[in-house]
Chain A
Amino acid sequence: MWLTGIMEVLFAGAMVSVVVDTGRARLGGRRVLAVGAVAAVSLSACLAEFLANWSQAQSGPVTATPVVSAFATLYTVDKFGALVILTVLVVGLAVAVYSATSVGERDNVGLFFALLQIIVACAVGLVSAGDLLTVFLFWEGVSISAYGLVSFERRDVSLEAAMKYFFMAASGSLIYLYGVALTYSAIGSIRLSELPLLLSSGSLGLASLLLMLLGLGVEAALFPVHMWLPDAYGSSPALTGALHGRVVNEAVLFAMLKVVQPLVPYAGSDLVRGAQVALVAVAAMTMLVGNLGAMGQTNVRRMLAFSSVAQMGYMLAALSTFTVLGLAAVAFLIWNQGIVKASFFMLTGAGGKDYEGAELDRLEGLGQSSKTLGVLFSSSALAMVGSPPFGTFWAELLAVEALLSVGTDMFFGLAVVLVLNIVLSIAYYFRVVNRVALVSVEGKEAEPMKPSFLLPPVALLALSVLTGLVPALILGTIL
């Protein structure tokens, strides 16, 4: 089956990356390029394979229990999942190309590209998991690789961030597992498709559902358990920030969607209404705390981390509607914000800047010494605040439409909070535009830009514009 095929190719690619890296003595200066090429090739192959089978996922949920496969468990991929897999593969490929020339000559280059491919493979598995334990399995896979990436630089601060991240995510897994156990005791099944049985389980049903969502919510960085994310972003190199922020958070948020999805036909039930109250409150707080927190940052990467928290809030808001439109909005937000956020992260690392290099003071005037970077920073900021002609505009429109379609005062209020939060985000994104793209600093010299630094963000932004101009291209596949 093509789905497990993708994961197998990626795991094989991970092993090859490590093996190629053992020949470092002979490869010399071309070592990073060679290992990176392995990752880029394997990701490209997977993307091609996935696109070739795209129509299959569109025609209905693909459900399979492969008999002969290294990963024989239950998989379900529907049109929403397909779009998220596309996002993960596209962002993964962009990061691989970008990293192939930006990762320094460190000892663990092989491991870096191996983890990159494993994280993508596990995210694909997580998105297509058909039961609660498969979700857990791949989620752990994603997390473990992510711990490795956060501590990649082996500085004290990276190790501390990784440790905090590990503690929070592991606690989240535990809470999730508890929810799964309760679910099993309530309905005797862990299949996602059988979750509607929780409806008749009273408080136990609600407790199981909320525990699973809270557990996942820790790693999706939702309020009040989002604090690990800015620390983790802050200590990782730009590329892992890009990868981590989007692939991990969004895959985990999509796992929340998978738990919610079977309950959509029962949106009026007590169970769903009980869960909605909690989710709406958390969504509103998450966006607010994320955006307000972002305003206080002087480091662009840390600011992006808080902004990611806010965007998780937007997605959770759409998710909390328990409607098909809401789920479509989540998938569409994941695609649109995923590609733009990854692009923005790459820009902050353009020229091989480390975390300190992403301080606003250091980036100041960059756009005047390199006009291309100025245009790219401005475009990314416009895209992040949902301006046309970028695809994010349609994603935010769809999210608000999902909220307003519910027709209750609570969701109208949430829609107001959401649009106001998007306005709030202008305050800090345009501070970046002002200081990075518009201000000119005397004596600031243009930094040499390798095409490989610019190509991936340009390609991602182009995809965003394409989605914005011809939204039906992507939207037509999920609605």
Chain B
Amino acid sequence: MNPSAWLLWLIPLASAPVVPALGRLDKRACKWFAVAVGGATALIGLEMGLTFSGPAQTQTLAWVPSLGVALEVQVDGVSTLLGAFVALLSFAIVVYAAGNMERERGQARFYSLVLLFVGAMLGLVMAGNLVQLYVFWEIVGICSAFLIAFWNDKESARKAGIKAFFVTRVGDAALLLAVILILTSIGTTSLSGIAAATKVPGTANWTLIGFLVLVGAMGKSAQVPLHVWLPDAMEGPTPVSALIHAATMVNAGVYLLVRLYPVLATSQALLWSVLGVGLLSMVVGAVCACAADDLKRVLAYSTISQLGLMFAAIGLGNWQGAVFHLVSQGVFKALAFMAAGSVIEAAGTRRMDEMGGLRTMKVTYVAFLAAALAMIGLPPFIGFWTKDAILSAALTTNQAAFAAIAVGSVLTAYYSFRAVFKVFQGPKREGVGEPPALMAGPMVAMSATAAFGWLLLDYQKLLPFGFSLDPPALAASMFALVSGVMVSYYAFVMKREETKAALASHKAAGLLKKALLQGLGFDEAYGRLSRLVTVSLSEAALLIQTGDLDTNAMLLLAALLTLLLLVAVGGL
């Protein structure tokens, strides 16, 4: 029995209900308690990551025997690596939140939801079977929705929370069907049992199951066309965006596909679907990120795009590459959000057009720059190694995908530095201070991780970490990086004013920008669909609700006649 694999998620879960009680005694106690729990969890995660040396093991406790469902933890390379990653990152973000959220109301609600989230997220990573994984999958979704709506006085925040809950639940419905199909087909949902069953032909309809799993993963990982909730989720507090909507929960879909890779591998069509969804999301996310003006939305679209890259890696059969990029993206995106939170607090706006010249905030500037450099994959930043692994795999297996990823890289370099230049370049802005130590500390630590974290990726050999430094792949990636940054530099530093003027006067550019700002019309289409269901179909369903006894009687008679007709036609 490895107690760490249980304590890792049970401690934060059990701590969550304690926070409101503490909050009644002393409001400040909430944040220190959360920091302490986060610290303890991080230590456990670290211990688990440093001591695990394989082989994979499963530990089981009885839970719902009549359904064949147990409480199960799976301790192996993937769960240990990601468990340690989530625990450490959560700790850094909770400390950051202690500084960033200091003046907000509702501290008890905030920290109890955050701890509940951390526990459920770690439970999801450690879960040894799909039913248990699904339970935590739902709980992280609930926490996410209520944290997005944290500033409940804002209508946009409330709407965004509900939208996130609803859209991800569409994906969850598919996942639930998949989980139960597996349960009824092979009598178990344990990860090892599924992997074994996929090797025996005819045990289940794996193609259907794989398709449903993909839809579930698309919802949680905000892949096109179920991505619409993530940009709106930026209405939540910045620590929430960093923790949930950049570094951890949105990775759950990727994690699910990694865990169920044996299912996907049963059919080439499934792998192609995963690749297709991934590439599409990568491009759509990157293109929208190029136009967005809200700093947090840029980062949100970037997350969609990066998650698309991970999906593509899985579709190409390189699931290990997806896991490493997941960790790497988690680090640099969380860092980018932390820096963004600091910038937004100083500038008092999220609009990049109203920023500029903020390089006086040195710590924040360095942090954002480190995040951007890791994001675009400059060596030796962490993103370089993990992206290289995916690019070189693509080069050998699928040239078209390679080309698409290269295009995505150009866009990434462009939008990342567009943000850097728009926020920090321009006439220096004086009088803006550095963030408090509680925010700066985690930013410094994360910056160091973004620069040197790759040294740790292979430290414990939890997973075979492969990168090839293939010359063509390397050349493509460097070319993408340089060209993207150059264009950005030209447009937003050298010709800053001209670009602004050109974008304002050029009609086609304006239309394109408008389309991109509106997310390419997905939201509008869903809005129409939603009105169709909640208004038109609802009215249709209420047509027979006349409150009139005659109608009721007629319908009863009609039911009776239909029934007799059925008997007559049935002709038993």
Using a CB–CB cutoff of 8 Å, the interface residues on chain A facing chain B are 163-164, 167-168, 171-172, 175, 202-203, 205-207, 210-211, 214, 218, 224-225, 227-228, 230-231, 270-271, 274, 277-278, 288-289, 292-293, 295-296, 368, 378, 382, 385, 387-389, 393-394, 397-398, 400-401, 404-405, 407, 415-416, 419-420, 422-424, 426-427, 430, 433-434, 438-440, 471-472, 475-476, 479
Q: Is the CB of B549 within 8 A of A164?
A: yes
Q: How far is the CA of A265 from the CA of B191 in the complex (A)?
A: 34
Cβ contact within 8 Å between B162 and A205:
no
Beyond A289-B541, A292-B540, whether A271 also contacts B572 by CB under 8 A is: yes
Q: Is the CB of B173 within 8 A of A419?
A: yes
B553 sits at the interface (CB 8 A): yes
> Which of A227, A393, A434, A476 interacts with B135 by CB under 8 Å?
A393
Partner of B138 from A206, A388, A407 at Cβ < 8 Å: A388
User: Smallest Cβ distance from B136 to chain A, in angstroms?
Assistant: 8
Given A206-B567, A424-B533, 15 extra CB contacts under 8 A: A168-B552, A175-B560, A203-B571, A206-B566, A227-B544, A227-B545, A228-B552, A295-B533, A295-B538, A296-B539, A422-B173, A427-B530, A438-B149, A471-B67, A472-B63
B555 contacts A by Cβ under 8 Å? yes
Q: Contact mask B157-187 → A, CB, 8 Å, 1/0?
A: 0110010011001100110110011011000
Tell me the residues in window 512-550 of chain B with beta carbons closer than 8 Å to chain A beta carbons: 530, 533-535, 537-542, 544-547, 549
Q: Do B534 and A207 touch (CB < 8 A)?
A: no
* Residue pair A270, B558 in contact (C-beta under 8 Å): no
Cβ–Cβ < 8 Å partners of B511 in chain A: none
Query: When the two chains form their complex, are residues A426 and B165 in contact, meaning their CB atoms are under 8 A apart?
Result: yes
B427 on the A face (CB < 8 A): no
Q: B275 CB to closest chain A CB, in angstroms?
A: 26
What is the predominant secondary structure among interface residues of chain A facing chain B?
Answer: helix
B533 touches A218 (CB 8 A): no
Residue on B with the closest CB to A171? B556
Instruction: Determine whether the beta carbon of B559 is less than 8 Å from that of A225.
Output: yes
Question: Quick one: closest B residue to A415, CB to CB?
Answer: B177
B152 at the A/B interface (Cβ < 8 Å)? yes
* CA A186 to CA B159, docked complex, whole Å: 59
State the Cβ distance, A363 to closest chain B Cβ, in Å: 16
Query: Mind listing 29 A-B residue pairs with CB under 8 Å?
Result: A164-B547, A167-B552, A167-B553, A207-B563, A207-B564, A207-B567, A225-B556, A228-B552, A230-B545, A271-B572, A274-B566, A277-B566, A278-B563, A295-B534, A295-B538, A296-B542, A368-B152, A382-B142, A385-B169, A393-B135, A397-B67, A400-B176, A404-B181, A405-B184, A419-B176, A423-B169, A427-B530, A434-B158, A475-B64
Which B residues are in CB contact (< 8 Å) with A231?
547
Given contacts A214-B563, A218-B556, A471-B64, contact A401 B534 (CB under 8 A): no
Candidates B158, B159, B552, B558; contact of A227 at CB < 8 Å: B552
Cα A271 to Cα B566 with chains together (Å): 12
Q: Which interface residue of A274, A397, A434 has the most chain B CB atoms within 10 A?
A: A397
Distance in angstroms between the alpha carbons of A430 and B159 in the assembled complex = 10
Pairwise interchain contact A205-B572, C-beta atoms closer than 8 A: yes
CB contacts (< 8 Å) of A293 on chain B: these are: 538, 541-542, 545
Q: Which residues of chain B are within 8 angstroms of A206 by Cβ–Cβ distance?
A: 566-567, 570, 572
Which among A175, A228, A289, A476 has the highest number of chain B CB atoms within 10 Å?
A289
Q: B551 on the interface (CB 8 Å rule)?
A: yes
The chain A residue sitting closest to B208, CB to CB, is A412
Interface residues on B, range: 35 or more
Chain A residues whose CB sits within 8 angstroms of the CB of B396 once the complex forms: none
Q: Bound complex: CA of A440 vs CA of B67, how far in Å? A: 43
Do the beta carbons of A224 and B559 come within 8 Å of each other?
A: yes
User: Contact at B135–A389, with CB atoms within 8 Å?
Assistant: yes
Q: How far is the CB of A180 from chain B (nearest CB, A)?
A: 16
Report B-chain residues with C-beta under 8 Å of the C-beta of A424: 533
Please indicate which of the listed interface residues A224, A420, A427 has the most CB atoms of chain B within 10 Å of its own CB. Answer: A224
Within the assembled complex, what's the spacing in Å between the Cα atoms of A407 and B169?
Answer: 25
Complex contacts, A387 vs chain B, CB 8 Å: 138-139, 142
CA–CA, A397 to B533, complex, Å? Answer: 25
Q: Please indicate the chain B residues that have their CB under 8 angstroms from the CB of A292 in the complex.
A: 533, 537-538, 540-542
Chain A CB within 8 A of B431 CB = no
B533: min CB distance to chain A, Å: 7
Q: Cβ of A404 and Cβ of B180 under 8 Å apart?
A: yes
- A58 → chain B, closest Cβ, in Å? 13
CB-defined contacts of B530 to chain A, threshold 8 Å = 427
| CB-based contact A420/B173 at 8 Å | yes
B binding-site residues for A, Cβ under 8 Å: 62-67, 131, 135, 138-139, 142, 146, 149, 152-153, 158-159, 162, 165-166, 169-170, 173-174, 176-177, 180-181, 183-184, 530, 533-535, 537-542, 544-547, 549, 551-553, 555-556, 558-560, 563-564, 566-568, 570-572
Given A203-B571, A388-B135, A472-B66; A427-B552 close (CB under 8 Å): no
Given contacts A270-B572, A382-B142, contact A400 B165 (CB under 8 A): no
* Min C-beta distance of B216 to chain A, whole Å: 11
Most central of B62, B67, B149, B551 by chain A CB within 10 Å:
B67
| A214, B559: Cα distance in complex, Å | 8
**Which of A214, A397, A407, A430 contacts B176, CB < 8 Å?**
A397
* Cβ-defined contact, A419 with B177, below 8 A: yes
Known: A227-B545, A288-B541. A434 touches B162 (CB 8 A): yes
Q: Which residue of A lies closest to B108 (CB)?
A: A371
Instruction: Contact check, B181 vs A472: say whether CB atoms are below 8 A apart.
Output: no
Cβ B566 vs Cβ A210 within 8 A: yes
How many Å lie between the Cα of A404 and that of B174 in the bound state?
Answer: 13
Q: Give bound CA distance, A274 to B174, whole Å.
A: 29
Q: A207-B567, A227-B555 are in contact. Are A388 and B139 (CB under 8 A)?
A: yes
Residue numbers in B under 8 Å from A295 (CB-CB): 533-534, 538
- Complex CA gap A418/B150 in Å reads 31
A393 touching B138 by the CB < 8 A rule? yes
In the docked arrangement, what's the CA distance between A423 and B171, Å? 10
* A263–B537 alpha-carbon span in the complex (Å): 37
Contact across chains for A224 and B544 when beta carbons are under 8 A apart: yes
| Shortest Cβ distance from residue A195 to the other chain B in the assembled complex, whole angstroms | 16
> Which residues on B sit within 8 Å (CB–CB) of A168?
552, 556
Given contacts A205-B572, A393-B138, A423-B173, contact A472 B158 (CB under 8 A): no
Give Cα distance in the complex from A435 to B174, angstroms. 29
Minimum Cβ distance to chain A for residue B470 (Å): 45
A443 to chain B minimum Cβ distance, whole angstroms, is 14
Report A-chain residues with C-beta under 8 Å of the C-beta of B170.
Answer: 423
Evaluate contact between A401 and B183: CB separation under 8 angstroms: yes
- Please judge, given known A-B contacts A164-B552, A168-B552, A382-B142, whether A400 and B538 are in contact too, CB under 8 Å: no
Contacts of A277 in B (CB 8 A): 566
Q: Which chain B residues border A385 with CB–CB below 8 Å?
A: 169
| Whole-angstrom CA separation of A416 from B208 in the bound complex | 13
A430-B165 in contact given A206-B570, A228-B552, A476-B65 (Cβ < 8 Å): yes
Task: List the B side residues contacting A419 at CB < 8 Å.
Answer: 173-174, 176-177
Q: What residues of chain B lie closer than 8 Å to A214, measured between beta carbons?
A: 559-560, 563
Q: How far is the CB of A209 from chain B (nearest CB, A)?
A: 9
Q: Which of A270, A438, A479 has its CB near the most chain B CB atoms (within 10 A)? A: A438
In the assembled complex, how far is the CB of residue A414 from the closest CB belonging to chain B, in whole angstroms? 12
Complex CA gap A289/B158 in Å reads 27
Tell whether, in the assembled complex, residue A224 and residue B555 are in contact, meaning their CB atoms are under 8 Å apart: yes
| Shortest CB distance B68–A (Å) | 10
Question: Contact at A440–B153, with CB atoms within 8 Å?
Answer: yes
**Bound Cα distance from A200 to B343, whole angstroms:** 79
Interface centre among B66, B547, B570, by most chain A C-beta atoms within 10 angstroms, is B570
When C-beta atoms are compared, the residue in chain A nearest to B539 turns out to be: A296
Q: How distant is A26 from chain B, measured CB to nearest CB, in Å?
A: 43
Residues of A within 8 A of B180 (CB): 397, 400-401, 404, 415
- Among residues of B, the one whose C-beta sits closest to the C-beta of A385 is B169
Contacts of B563 in A (CB 8 A): 207, 210-211, 214, 278
A398 engages B139 (CB within 8 Å): no
| A-chain residues with CB within 8 Å of residue B63 when the two chains form the complex | 471-472
Nearest B residue to A328 via CB reads: B66
